[in-house]
Amino acid sequence: MYEPNRLRTFLAVAQTLSFTQAARRLGLRQSTVSQHVRRLEEETGRPLFTRDTHTVALTEDGEAMLGFARSILEAHERAAAFFTGTRLRGRLRFGASEDFVTTRLPEILEAFRREHPEVDLELTVELSGTLQARLEAGRLDLILAKRRGGPTGEGRESRGGGAGERGADGKGERGADGRGERGADGEGELVWQDVLVWIGAPRLRLDPDRPVPLIVFPPPGITRARALEALQAQGRPWRIACTSSSLSANVAAARAGLGVMAHTRGLVPPGLVEVPARAGLPELGPVDFVLRKGRRRGATQDAADALAAAILAGGDRLHRPHGALPG
């Protein structure tokens, strides 16, 4: 009943909340994307999006269509693979930012393993900056990571602490390579966009006369760099209250009230809340989540393409945290 290409277009718009970004991802004209969505809405007899000149949002029926669209496309792809006799093989080294540990990425990986049992999938969980470096060095084949967002939705390279990031003591600090968590070439297929926000324990109160207590990842880290840059630009002193490369450890420190941390709005862990605007903390700006592929070809590239397609098809599930973090 529902044409697969229109469903793929619908998923792309639902995940990016942008007709422009969906068109770029799919390699289509924006008018074609609009036409696909309009035809799908005509077939369902329901509006799937509310949209104006500035925003796009899913309706309640659009939310329901997400599950149906994924199921139809997965069945379509299984049937195609069965009748064409194609089976993926080989080793696939996949890296993911720890941001995704509490999302439904494991479900996507489980389904991929079930569909492609002859692919040896190896998972690396690291900071996005570390994943970018390993991809560039040929040590990973596909990564799902974050990068700085730009005003047009494109990631922009930012020099972390170009003039030095200064804390309460005025001493500068730089990331390991002077960059945020973004590859130097700026490549990557957009999965979705969000914004960084300050989060902390519900009862945490910041004293405006004292340095802001920060919970951060070690360099290189886009959230660390962006938090320090924003506070420096505001002229507000800060101090490091906790540093860990583990998201679970940082979340535990935040729950204990040790300080605040910069985090993606759509991935706020249970037990933490956005710091209210009255605290006077600066805005942190947008963030992009992207897929990047390595340079290997042949069976590895085919497997990377298949996993990337599965992640893009289920991208809306990646920014809907479920369950509590361990510990």
Please name the residue that has the structure tokens 């007899």.
Answer: 45
pLDDT mean over 32-51: 92
What residues pair up with 260 in beta bridges, in sequence order?
214
Contact, 302 vs 294, CB < 8 A? Answer: no
In the chain, % of residues over pLDDT 70: 83
One-letter amino acid identity for 136? E
Please name the residue that has the structure tokens 């070690």.
Answer: 218
* pTM higher than 0.85: no
Asked whether the CA dihedral 290, 296, 297, 300 is positive or negative, the reply is: negative
pLDDT value of position 187: 67
Assign 198 to helix, strand or coil: strand
What residues pair up with 56 in beta bridges, in sequence order?
51
pLDDT mean over 227-234: 95
Please name the residue that has the structure tokens 């991929």.
Answer: 112
pLDDT mean over 172-197: 58
Exposed / middle / buried, residue 323 (Cβ in 10 Å: 0-12, 13-18, 19+): exposed
